[in-house]
Structure 1
Amino acid sequence: MRFYRLQQDPSPRYTGALNAAHKWGLPGLEPCPTCRTGGGVTGLEYPCVDLSGLPDHELKKLSDPWPVPFEEFSRLRELVRPLAPMGAVLEAGARLGPLTGKGSGHFGQLFMQEPWSLYLRRDALGRLQEAGVRGLRGCSLDVRFRVKHPPELLEMQLELHGQFHPDCLPPDRKPPCPTCGNDRLTLPEQPILAAPSLPEHLDVFRLAQWSTLIIANERLVDTVQRLELDGVVFQELQVR
Protein backbone atom coordinates (compact mmCIF):
# COMPACT_ATOMS: atom_id res chain seq x y z
CA MET A 1 0.00 0.00 0.00
CA ARG A 2 1.30 3.45 -0.95
CA PHE A 3 0.87 6.48 1.30
CA TYR A 4 0.79 10.18 0.43
CA ARG A 5 0.99 13.56 2.12
CA LEU A 6 -1.90 15.90 1.31
CA GLN A 7 -1.09 19.49 0.35
CA GLN A 8 -3.13 22.43 -0.95
CA ASP A 9 -3.00 22.82 -4.74
CA PRO A 10 -0.86 25.95 -5.31
CA SER A 11 -2.69 26.93 -8.52
CA PRO A 12 -3.60 30.65 -8.40
CA ARG A 13 -7.22 29.89 -9.29
CA TYR A 14 -7.77 28.61 -5.75
CA THR A 15 -8.26 31.88 -3.89
CA GLY A 16 -10.32 30.51 -1.00
CA ALA A 17 -9.46 31.77 2.47
CA LEU A 18 -11.03 31.37 5.90
CA ASN A 19 -10.50 34.21 8.35
CA ALA A 20 -11.72 32.10 11.22
CA ALA A 21 -10.73 30.17 14.34
CA HIS A 22 -12.11 27.28 16.36
CA LYS A 23 -14.56 28.35 19.03
CA TRP A 24 -12.71 26.72 21.95
CA GLY A 25 -9.44 25.01 22.76
CA LEU A 26 -7.10 23.83 25.46
CA PRO A 27 -4.70 26.57 26.60
CA GLY A 28 -0.96 26.52 26.19
CA LEU A 29 1.41 25.38 28.92
CA GLU A 30 3.79 27.51 30.91
CA PRO A 31 7.49 26.55 30.40
CA CYS A 32 8.47 23.19 31.91
CA PRO A 33 10.87 23.60 34.86
CA THR A 34 13.10 20.82 33.49
CA CYS A 35 13.40 21.38 29.71
CA ARG A 36 12.00 24.95 29.61
CA THR A 37 9.66 24.16 26.70
CA GLY A 38 6.03 25.23 26.79
CA GLY A 39 3.34 26.55 24.51
CA GLY A 40 1.15 24.10 22.63
CA VAL A 41 0.86 21.58 19.82
CA THR A 42 -0.38 22.49 16.34
CA GLY A 43 -2.62 20.18 14.35
CA LEU A 44 -4.80 18.67 17.05
CA GLU A 45 -8.25 19.74 15.84
CA TYR A 46 -11.60 18.32 16.94
CA PRO A 47 -14.21 20.52 15.24
CA CYS A 48 -17.15 18.22 16.06
CA VAL A 49 -16.67 18.58 19.82
CA ASP A 50 -19.44 20.62 21.47
CA LEU A 51 -18.51 22.29 24.75
CA SER A 52 -21.54 24.59 24.89
CA GLY A 53 -23.02 22.69 27.84
CA LEU A 54 -20.13 23.62 30.16
CA PRO A 55 -20.47 26.54 32.60
CA ASP A 56 -19.75 29.98 31.17
CA HIS A 57 -16.78 30.58 33.46
CA GLU A 58 -15.14 27.36 32.18
CA LEU A 59 -15.90 28.22 28.55
CA LYS A 60 -14.15 31.55 29.09
CA LYS A 61 -11.00 29.69 30.16
CA LEU A 62 -11.35 27.33 27.19
CA SER A 63 -11.50 30.33 24.84
CA ASP A 64 -8.18 31.80 26.02
CA PRO A 65 -5.00 30.23 24.58
CA TRP A 66 -2.74 32.00 27.09
CA PRO A 67 -0.39 29.49 28.81
CA VAL A 68 -1.41 28.18 32.22
CA PRO A 69 0.32 26.04 34.87
CA PHE A 70 0.26 22.27 34.27
CA GLU A 71 -2.19 21.68 37.15
CA GLU A 72 -4.79 24.04 35.64
CA PHE A 73 -4.24 22.59 32.17
CA SER A 74 -4.80 19.07 33.53
CA ARG A 75 -8.04 20.17 35.20
CA LEU A 76 -9.37 21.71 31.98
CA ARG A 77 -8.33 18.66 29.98
CA GLU A 78 -10.30 16.35 32.25
CA LEU A 79 -13.28 18.70 31.93
CA VAL A 80 -13.15 18.30 28.14
CA ARG A 81 -12.28 14.60 27.93
CA PRO A 82 -15.83 13.18 28.34
CA LEU A 83 -16.99 15.37 25.44
CA ALA A 84 -14.12 14.43 23.09
CA PRO A 85 -13.92 11.34 20.86
CA MET A 86 -12.65 8.17 22.47
CA GLY A 87 -8.86 8.11 22.21
CA ALA A 88 -8.58 11.82 21.35
CA VAL A 89 -5.13 13.30 21.97
CA LEU A 90 -5.83 16.28 24.23
CA GLU A 91 -2.56 18.16 24.47
CA ALA A 92 -1.93 21.86 25.06
CA GLY A 93 -3.10 23.85 22.05
CA ALA A 94 -5.72 21.34 20.86
CA ARG A 95 -8.55 23.17 19.08
CA LEU A 96 -12.19 22.30 19.72
CA GLY A 97 -15.56 23.14 18.26
CA PRO A 98 -16.66 24.66 14.96
CA LEU A 99 -14.52 27.03 12.95
CA THR A 100 -16.05 30.48 13.39
CA GLY A 101 -15.48 33.61 11.32
CA LYS A 102 -15.61 34.74 7.68
CA GLY A 103 -14.68 33.22 4.33
CA SER A 104 -14.08 34.40 0.78
CA GLY A 105 -12.69 33.33 -2.58
CA HIS A 106 -12.84 30.22 -4.75
CA PHE A 107 -12.51 26.80 -3.10
CA GLY A 108 -11.80 23.47 -4.74
CA GLN A 109 -13.74 20.32 -3.88
CA LEU A 110 -11.03 19.72 -1.29
CA PHE A 111 -9.33 22.59 0.51
CA MET A 112 -6.50 22.98 3.00
CA GLN A 113 -6.38 26.29 4.84
CA GLU A 114 -3.19 25.11 6.55
CA PRO A 115 -1.18 21.90 6.03
CA TRP A 116 -3.00 20.44 9.06
CA SER A 117 -6.59 21.50 8.20
CA LEU A 118 -8.66 19.61 5.63
CA TYR A 119 -12.06 20.78 4.35
CA LEU A 120 -14.39 19.22 1.80
CA ARG A 121 -17.44 20.53 0.02
CA ARG A 122 -20.49 18.60 1.21
CA ASP A 123 -21.10 16.98 -2.17
CA ALA A 124 -17.45 15.88 -2.45
CA LEU A 125 -17.60 14.29 1.01
CA GLY A 126 -20.76 12.43 0.04
CA ARG A 127 -19.22 11.11 -3.16
CA LEU A 128 -16.09 9.91 -1.37
CA GLN A 129 -18.10 8.19 1.34
CA GLU A 130 -20.36 6.54 -1.25
CA ALA A 131 -17.19 5.26 -2.95
CA GLY A 132 -16.16 3.61 0.32
CA VAL A 133 -13.44 5.97 1.54
CA ARG A 134 -12.93 5.48 5.28
CA GLY A 135 -11.89 8.03 7.91
CA LEU A 136 -13.72 11.17 6.76
CA ARG A 137 -16.00 12.76 9.34
CA GLY A 138 -17.35 16.16 8.36
CA CYS A 139 -18.08 18.91 10.89
CA SER A 140 -20.10 22.03 10.14
CA LEU A 141 -18.49 25.48 10.02
CA ASP A 142 -19.87 28.68 11.50
CA VAL A 143 -18.40 30.80 8.70
CA ARG A 144 -20.09 33.63 6.81
CA PHE A 145 -19.54 34.31 3.10
CA ARG A 146 -20.54 37.51 1.31
CA VAL A 147 -21.80 35.76 -1.80
CA LYS A 148 -25.28 34.70 -2.90
CA HIS A 149 -24.39 31.00 -3.12
CA PRO A 150 -21.66 30.29 -0.56
CA PRO A 151 -19.73 27.01 -0.65
CA GLU A 152 -20.92 24.44 1.89
CA LEU A 153 -17.64 23.40 3.45
CA LEU A 154 -17.17 20.81 6.16
CA GLU A 155 -14.04 20.44 8.28
CA MET A 156 -12.68 16.90 8.59
CA GLN A 157 -12.12 15.50 12.07
CA LEU A 158 -9.33 12.98 11.57
CA GLU A 159 -7.96 10.25 13.81
CA LEU A 160 -4.27 10.13 14.74
CA HIS A 161 -2.23 7.08 13.77
CA GLY A 162 1.27 6.20 12.63
CA GLN A 163 4.91 6.89 13.39
CA PHE A 164 8.08 7.85 11.56
CA HIS A 165 10.51 5.09 10.71
CA PRO A 166 13.71 5.35 12.80
CA ASP A 167 15.77 5.66 9.59
CA CYS A 168 14.56 9.27 9.09
CA LEU A 169 15.18 10.35 12.70
CA PRO A 170 18.50 11.58 14.15
CA PRO A 171 20.58 8.71 15.59
CA ASP A 172 21.55 10.87 18.58
CA ARG A 173 17.98 11.87 19.39
CA LYS A 174 17.53 12.73 23.05
CA PRO A 175 14.94 10.91 25.21
CA PRO A 176 11.70 12.68 26.12
CA CYS A 177 11.74 15.13 29.00
CA PRO A 178 11.09 13.17 32.24
CA THR A 179 8.85 15.96 33.57
CA CYS A 180 6.58 16.99 30.69
CA GLY A 181 7.23 14.26 28.11
CA ASN A 182 8.33 16.64 25.32
CA ASP A 183 10.35 14.56 22.84
CA ARG A 184 11.96 17.55 21.05
CA LEU A 185 11.17 15.98 17.67
CA THR A 186 11.62 18.02 14.49
CA LEU A 187 10.03 17.21 11.13
CA PRO A 188 12.43 15.09 9.03
CA GLU A 189 13.44 16.61 5.69
CA GLN A 190 12.53 13.32 3.98
CA PRO A 191 9.83 11.68 6.10
CA ILE A 192 9.69 7.88 6.07
CA LEU A 193 6.66 6.17 7.58
CA ALA A 194 6.90 3.04 9.72
CA ALA A 195 4.72 0.47 7.94
CA PRO A 196 3.62 -1.53 11.03
CA SER A 197 2.25 1.65 12.65
CA LEU A 198 -0.04 2.65 9.78
CA PRO A 199 -3.79 1.95 10.09
CA GLU A 200 -5.46 -0.61 7.87
CA HIS A 201 -9.01 0.50 8.73
CA LEU A 202 -8.66 4.14 7.56
CA ASP A 203 -7.82 5.73 4.22
CA VAL A 204 -6.94 9.18 5.64
CA PHE A 205 -5.58 10.21 9.04
CA ARG A 206 -3.20 12.52 10.89
CA LEU A 207 0.25 11.19 11.68
CA ALA A 208 0.27 10.61 15.43
CA GLN A 209 3.95 11.45 15.77
CA TRP A 210 3.56 14.72 13.83
CA SER A 211 -0.03 15.95 13.89
CA THR A 212 0.38 18.60 11.19
CA LEU A 213 0.85 15.89 8.55
CA ILE A 214 -2.35 14.60 6.93
CA ILE A 215 -1.72 11.22 5.31
CA ALA A 216 -3.83 9.32 2.77
CA ASN A 217 -3.36 5.89 1.27
CA GLU A 218 -3.63 4.99 -2.37
CA ARG A 219 -7.31 4.05 -2.04
CA LEU A 220 -8.23 7.65 -1.24
CA VAL A 221 -5.86 9.09 -3.86
CA ASP A 222 -7.20 6.80 -6.59
CA THR A 223 -10.79 7.67 -5.65
CA VAL A 224 -10.17 11.44 -5.63
CA GLN A 225 -8.54 11.21 -9.05
CA ARG A 226 -11.24 8.91 -10.47
CA LEU A 227 -13.98 11.29 -9.28
CA GLU A 228 -11.99 14.26 -10.64
CA LEU A 229 -12.11 16.14 -7.35
CA ASP A 230 -9.79 19.14 -7.22
CA GLY A 231 -8.09 21.40 -4.67
CA VAL A 232 -5.26 19.28 -3.27
CA VAL A 233 -2.15 17.52 -4.53
CA PHE A 234 -0.50 14.35 -3.25
CA GLN A 235 3.15 13.76 -2.43
CA GLU A 236 4.13 10.09 -2.11
CA LEU A 237 6.09 9.21 1.03
CA GLN A 238 8.51 6.37 1.64
CA VAL A 239 7.28 3.51 3.81
CA ARG A 240 9.47 0.89 5.48
Structure 2
Amino acid sequence: MKLKLENLTKLLPICRSTAFPPIYHISFTPSPFCSSISPLSSSEPSLQVSESSAFMVDYLINSFGWSKEKAIYASKRLLHIKSAEKPDAVCSFLRGIGLFESQLSATIRRRPIILTAGIESSLLPKVKLFETLGASGKELADLVATSANCLSNSDDRRLVPCVDVLRDLLKDEKKIRHALKRCPWILSSDPDKILRRNVGFLLQKGLQGHSLSTLIYKSPNLLVMKLELLSSACQTVEHLGLGLTSSL
Protein backbone atom coordinates (compact mmCIF):
# COMPACT_ATOMS: atom_id res chain seq x y z
CA MET A 1 0.00 0.00 0.00
CA LYS A 2 1.11 3.56 -0.61
CA LEU A 3 0.93 6.69 1.50
CA LYS A 4 -1.24 9.50 0.28
CA LEU A 5 0.92 12.58 -0.08
CA GLU A 6 -1.39 15.21 1.35
CA ASN A 7 -2.11 13.27 4.54
CA LEU A 8 1.55 12.59 5.21
CA THR A 9 2.43 16.25 4.81
CA LYS A 10 -0.37 17.24 7.18
CA LEU A 11 0.98 14.99 9.92
CA LEU A 12 4.61 15.94 9.51
CA PRO A 13 5.94 19.38 10.49
CA ILE A 14 7.87 21.67 8.19
CA CYS A 15 11.36 22.57 9.31
CA ARG A 16 11.55 26.35 9.21
CA SER A 17 14.87 28.13 9.30
CA THR A 18 15.27 30.54 12.18
CA ALA A 19 17.97 32.70 13.63
CA PHE A 20 19.07 29.70 15.67
CA PRO A 21 18.99 25.93 15.12
CA PRO A 22 15.44 24.61 15.63
CA ILE A 23 14.45 21.49 17.50
CA TYR A 24 11.99 19.49 15.47
CA HIS A 25 8.92 17.62 16.68
CA ILE A 26 6.13 15.73 15.04
CA SER A 27 2.62 16.23 16.29
CA PHE A 28 2.16 12.77 17.75
CA THR A 29 5.42 12.37 19.66
CA PRO A 30 7.33 14.66 22.02
CA SER A 31 10.72 13.38 20.88
CA PRO A 32 12.89 15.55 18.59
CA PHE A 33 13.68 13.82 15.32
CA CYS A 34 16.93 15.44 14.43
CA SER A 35 19.68 16.56 16.69
CA SER A 36 20.46 20.23 17.04
CA ILE A 37 22.57 22.55 19.08
CA SER A 38 20.58 24.80 21.33
CA PRO A 39 21.26 28.51 21.01
CA LEU A 40 23.10 30.26 23.74
CA SER A 41 20.71 31.61 26.29
CA SER A 42 20.72 33.98 29.21
CA SER A 43 20.46 30.93 31.46
CA GLU A 44 24.03 29.85 30.69
CA PRO A 45 25.93 29.49 33.95
CA SER A 46 28.46 32.15 34.79
CA LEU A 47 31.94 31.26 33.63
CA GLN A 48 35.27 32.64 34.65
CA VAL A 49 37.43 34.42 32.08
CA SER A 50 40.78 32.68 31.81
CA GLU A 51 43.88 34.49 30.69
CA SER A 52 43.91 32.43 27.49
CA SER A 53 40.35 33.39 26.54
CA ALA A 54 40.39 37.04 27.60
CA PHE A 55 41.22 38.38 24.12
CA MET A 56 38.32 36.68 22.33
CA VAL A 57 35.88 37.40 25.16
CA ASP A 58 36.63 41.10 24.81
CA TYR A 59 36.49 40.82 21.01
CA LEU A 60 33.04 39.21 21.01
CA ILE A 61 31.66 41.67 23.53
CA ASN A 62 33.04 44.70 21.70
CA SER A 63 32.21 43.47 18.20
CA PHE A 64 28.69 42.13 18.77
CA GLY A 65 27.52 43.54 22.08
CA TRP A 66 27.18 40.11 23.66
CA SER A 67 26.87 39.50 27.36
CA LYS A 68 29.99 38.39 29.16
CA GLU A 69 28.52 34.93 29.75
CA LYS A 70 27.74 34.37 26.06
CA ALA A 71 31.16 35.63 25.03
CA ILE A 72 32.93 33.33 27.48
CA TYR A 73 30.89 30.34 26.33
CA ALA A 74 31.51 31.03 22.64
CA SER A 75 35.23 31.71 23.10
CA LYS A 76 36.00 28.20 24.36
CA ARG A 77 36.91 27.02 20.83
CA LEU A 78 38.77 30.20 20.01
CA LEU A 79 41.44 30.22 22.68
CA HIS A 80 44.23 30.10 20.11
CA ILE A 81 43.21 33.43 18.54
CA LYS A 82 45.36 36.23 19.89
CA SER A 83 44.84 38.75 17.12
CA ALA A 84 41.80 40.38 15.53
CA GLU A 85 43.22 39.92 12.03
CA LYS A 86 41.48 36.63 11.14
CA PRO A 87 38.09 37.28 12.80
CA ASP A 88 38.02 40.80 11.37
CA ALA A 89 38.66 39.39 7.88
CA VAL A 90 35.89 36.81 8.27
CA CYS A 91 33.40 39.40 9.50
CA SER A 92 34.35 41.74 6.67
CA PHE A 93 33.81 38.95 4.13
CA LEU A 94 30.38 38.06 5.54
CA ARG A 95 29.33 41.70 5.59
CA GLY A 96 30.57 41.98 2.02
CA ILE A 97 28.13 39.35 0.79
CA GLY A 98 25.27 41.18 2.45
CA LEU A 99 24.85 39.93 6.01
CA PHE A 100 23.27 42.49 8.32
CA GLU A 101 24.87 43.01 11.72
CA SER A 102 22.10 41.02 13.42
CA GLN A 103 22.64 38.14 10.96
CA LEU A 104 26.39 38.28 11.43
CA SER A 105 26.05 38.17 15.22
CA ALA A 106 23.61 35.25 15.05
CA THR A 107 25.85 33.39 12.61
CA ILE A 108 28.88 33.72 14.88
CA ARG A 109 26.86 32.71 17.93
CA ARG A 110 25.72 29.55 16.21
CA ARG A 111 29.17 28.64 14.92
CA PRO A 112 31.95 30.66 16.63
CA ILE A 113 34.63 28.57 14.92
CA ILE A 114 33.69 30.34 11.67
CA LEU A 115 35.88 33.19 12.89
CA THR A 116 38.91 30.98 12.21
CA ALA A 117 37.80 29.87 8.72
CA GLY A 118 39.91 30.52 5.66
CA ILE A 119 38.12 32.87 3.30
CA GLU A 120 39.56 31.58 0.03
CA SER A 121 39.78 27.94 1.08
CA SER A 122 36.56 27.54 3.06
CA LEU A 123 34.01 30.35 2.96
CA LEU A 124 34.25 31.45 -0.66
CA PRO A 125 33.60 27.96 -2.14
CA LYS A 126 30.42 27.68 -0.06
CA VAL A 127 29.18 31.06 -1.24
CA LYS A 128 29.92 30.03 -4.82
CA LEU A 129 27.94 26.81 -4.27
CA PHE A 130 24.90 28.85 -3.25
CA GLU A 131 25.44 31.07 -6.26
CA THR A 132 25.33 28.02 -8.56
CA LEU A 133 21.82 27.50 -7.19
CA GLY A 134 20.84 30.97 -8.37
CA ALA A 135 21.12 32.72 -5.01
CA SER A 136 22.17 36.37 -5.03
CA GLY A 137 21.73 39.55 -3.02
CA LYS A 138 19.61 39.22 0.09
CA GLU A 139 18.72 35.61 -0.65
CA LEU A 140 22.40 34.69 -0.80
CA ALA A 141 23.06 36.42 2.53
CA ASP A 142 20.05 34.69 4.09
CA LEU A 143 21.22 31.26 2.90
CA VAL A 144 24.71 31.82 4.29
CA ALA A 145 23.34 33.05 7.63
CA THR A 146 20.83 30.23 8.07
CA SER A 147 23.42 27.65 7.02
CA ALA A 148 25.97 28.76 9.61
CA ASN A 149 26.31 25.27 11.08
CA CYS A 150 27.55 23.85 7.79
CA LEU A 151 30.08 26.56 6.96
CA SER A 152 32.94 24.61 8.49
CA ASN A 153 31.97 21.35 6.76
CA SER A 154 33.84 19.91 3.78
CA ASP A 155 32.56 21.08 0.41
CA ASP A 156 33.45 17.89 -1.44
CA ARG A 157 32.48 15.36 1.22
CA ARG A 158 29.39 17.01 2.66
CA LEU A 159 27.89 20.11 1.02
CA VAL A 160 28.11 19.23 -2.67
CA PRO A 161 26.76 15.66 -2.15
CA CYS A 162 23.87 17.06 -0.07
CA VAL A 163 23.02 19.55 -2.80
CA ASP A 164 23.23 16.73 -5.35
CA VAL A 165 20.57 14.80 -3.40
CA LEU A 166 18.29 17.83 -3.63
CA ARG A 167 19.06 18.24 -7.33
CA ASP A 168 18.02 14.64 -7.94
CA LEU A 169 14.78 15.12 -6.03
CA LEU A 170 13.64 18.62 -6.89
CA LYS A 171 15.12 19.22 -10.36
CA ASP A 172 14.83 22.98 -9.89
CA GLU A 173 17.25 25.51 -8.37
CA LYS A 174 14.52 27.69 -6.91
CA LYS A 175 12.97 24.69 -5.17
CA ILE A 176 16.39 23.68 -3.83
CA ARG A 177 16.92 27.15 -2.36
CA HIS A 178 13.43 26.98 -0.87
CA ALA A 179 14.22 23.63 0.79
CA LEU A 180 17.53 24.86 2.18
CA LYS A 181 15.96 27.97 3.67
CA ARG A 182 13.27 25.89 5.35
CA CYS A 183 15.67 23.22 6.58
CA PRO A 184 19.33 24.31 6.48
CA TRP A 185 20.23 21.23 8.53
CA ILE A 186 20.13 19.29 5.27
CA LEU A 187 23.64 20.61 4.55
CA SER A 188 24.90 19.37 7.93
CA SER A 189 23.62 15.81 7.42
CA ASP A 190 25.44 12.80 6.03
CA PRO A 191 24.26 12.52 2.41
CA ASP A 192 24.35 8.71 2.38
CA LYS A 193 23.63 7.65 5.96
CA ILE A 194 20.78 10.13 6.44
CA LEU A 195 19.52 11.86 3.28
CA ARG A 196 19.62 9.00 0.78
CA ARG A 197 18.58 6.55 3.48
CA ASN A 198 15.40 8.52 4.11
CA VAL A 199 14.75 8.90 0.40
CA GLY A 200 15.09 5.13 0.03
CA PHE A 201 12.63 4.58 2.87
CA LEU A 202 10.04 6.86 1.26
CA LEU A 203 10.55 5.09 -2.06
CA GLN A 204 9.79 1.80 -0.31
CA LYS A 205 6.55 3.37 0.91
CA GLY A 206 5.51 3.96 -2.66
CA LEU A 207 6.35 7.65 -2.98
CA GLN A 208 8.26 8.41 -6.16
CA GLY A 209 8.60 10.83 -9.02
CA HIS A 210 6.48 13.96 -8.77
CA SER A 211 4.83 12.79 -5.54
CA LEU A 212 8.16 12.36 -3.76
CA SER A 213 9.47 15.64 -5.15
CA THR A 214 6.37 17.49 -3.95
CA LEU A 215 6.59 15.91 -0.51
CA ILE A 216 10.24 16.93 -0.04
CA TYR A 217 9.51 20.43 -1.34
CA LYS A 218 6.70 20.84 1.21
CA SER A 219 8.49 19.09 4.10
CA PRO A 220 12.26 19.05 3.55
CA ASN A 221 12.67 18.08 7.20
CA LEU A 222 11.85 14.51 6.15
CA LEU A 223 15.35 14.23 4.74
CA VAL A 224 16.99 14.74 8.15
CA MET A 225 14.44 12.94 10.30
CA LYS A 226 15.62 10.05 12.42
CA LEU A 227 14.59 6.90 10.63
CA GLU A 228 12.69 5.44 13.57
CA LEU A 229 10.57 8.58 13.82
CA LEU A 230 10.02 8.78 10.08
CA SER A 231 8.90 5.16 10.20
CA SER A 232 6.67 5.91 13.19
CA ALA A 233 5.09 8.82 11.32
CA CYS A 234 4.30 6.63 8.33
CA GLN A 235 2.94 3.88 10.56
CA THR A 236 0.68 6.38 12.28
CA VAL A 237 -0.73 7.46 8.93
CA GLU A 238 -1.37 3.84 8.03
CA HIS A 239 -2.86 2.89 11.41
CA LEU A 240 -5.23 5.84 11.26
CA GLY A 241 -6.37 4.61 7.86
CA LEU A 242 -5.51 7.95 6.31
CA GLY A 243 -4.43 8.24 2.75
CA LEU A 244 -3.89 4.57 1.99
CA THR A 245 -4.52 4.06 -1.67
CA SER A 246 -3.40 1.78 -4.45
CA SER A 247 -1.82 4.67 -6.33
CA LEU A 248 -1.01 8.31 -5.83
* Fold shared by both chains (TM-score > 0.5): no
Higher fraction of helix: 2
Higher fraction of strand: 1
Q: Normalized against structure 2, the TM-score is what?
A: 0.24
Q: Normalized against structure 1, the TM-score is what?
A: 0.25
